[in-house]
Amino acid sequence: MLDETTTCSPPASASVTASPASAPGGASAPSGVAAPGGLRPRLTEQQLESATREDLLAHSKQQDSYIDSLLSQATSHEAETAALRETEDRLRQQHADLLLREKVLVRRLAAKEQEMQEYAGQLSELKAREAPGVSALRSALLDPAVNLLLQKLRQELAATRTRVEETQNELSAWKFTPDSNTGKRLMAKCRLLYQENEELGRVIASGRVAKLEGELALQKSFSEEVKKSQSELDEFLQDLDEDVEGMQSTIYYLQQELRKAKDTLAVYEQERKAGAANGKSACNGDSGSETHASPPPPPPRRRTSSEDSDDLPLIKKVRRDSELSIHYSEEEVGGGLTNGESSAK
């Protein structure tokens, strides 16, 4: 605990006397006058009597500076005092908190000690209860259930020991080092198995690749066949289109020829009828005449559009599988007409 009273130490420059300063007008300061910040400047009676106005003004300034220094020191001392008081209050609060915590810990310690004493009493009671007496031991040895349980436990213990020994023997048999014969054989076997595994992997990979290649070839062949059949179908359709066009042109040509034949036949029929009528009248009227006049020539006949089309070229359509050709000649067309004309005459 700190004491609230603090002592103020004199300033460090208190023991330093002021050097004589030159007063205004060339007059020197009286001896015994201290500089500002040093000891309190005082003037003796002799100095007061002999001091001039400038000396008094300088002495007044020194007094003012001294008072200012004292005020600043007082202010700093007050700030330090306030800081020390705050520190003291804080330390008191911490001390109170520590005392309270100490009391709490002491109480907890007392409670723990009491619990430990209670646990020790309970433990002693349990030990006293668990310690069987002589009569209890004799009754346990004579109990058949306990005897049967002990026999089973012994049998299980013997079996467990046997299994442990067998496991240890197997483990020692399986132990090997790379330099031992067993280790060398095992390493050789492992290498052989590794090589076989690699070969099987390559075989499987090659089989898959071959299968994929075969499927790819089948797909390619199927695509080629489809393309070929499509091209043949396109050619067949093109031939059919050409055949249809040829048949249409042929049908049109035959229709034109039929129309021309019908027109020619009608013209010849009219000429035959006119010639027959003229011959009969000539025979009746001029039977006694010496000269027989020939019948007048038939009037010139206009050419129809069907006859104008005789100059068109003959259409012939040829296919690869079948050949369709139509041949007409002027003799065959005119033969029928000549026979009709002769029969009409």
HEC string of the chain equals CCCCCCCCCCCHHHHCCCCCCECHHHCECCCCCCCCCCCCCCCCHHHHHHCCHHHHHHHHHHHHHHHHHHHHHHHHHHHHHHHHHHHHHHHHHHHHHHHHHHHHHHHHHHHHHHHHHHHHHHHHHHHHHHCCCHHHHHHHHHCHHHHHHHHHHHHHHHHHHHHHHHHHHHHHHHCCCCCCHHHHHHHHHHHHHHHHHHHHHHHHHHHHHHHHHHHHHHHHHHHHHHHHHHHHHHHHHHHHHHHHHHHHHHHHHHHHHHHHHHHHHHHHHHHHHHHHHHHHHHHHHCCCCCCCCCCCCCCCCCCCHHHHHHHCCCCCEECCCCEECCCCCHHHHHHHHHHHHHHHC
Q: What is the mean pLDDT of residues 225-245?
A: 91
pLDDT of residue 130: 74
Q: What is the mean pLDDT of residues 83-110?
A: 93
Given a cut of 60, is residue 37 above it in pLDDT? no
pLDDT > 70: what percent of the chain?
64
Q: What is the mean pLDDT of residues 222-240?
A: 91
- Rounded to two decimals, the pTM is 0.23
pLDDT of residue 311: 44
pLDDT of residue 337: 41
Given a cut of 80, is residue 87 above it in pLDDT? yes
Model confidence at 62, pLDDT cuts 50, 70, 90, reads confident
Q: What is the mean pLDDT of residues 301-323?
A: 44
Model confidence at 101, pLDDT cuts 50, 70, 90, reads very high
Q: Give tens-digit pLDDT for 127-171.
A: 877 766 666 666 666 677 777 888 899 999 999 999 999 988 877
Given a cut of 70, is residue 39 above it in pLDDT? no
Model confidence at 343, pLDDT cuts 50, 70, 90, reads very low
pLDDT of residue 282: 67
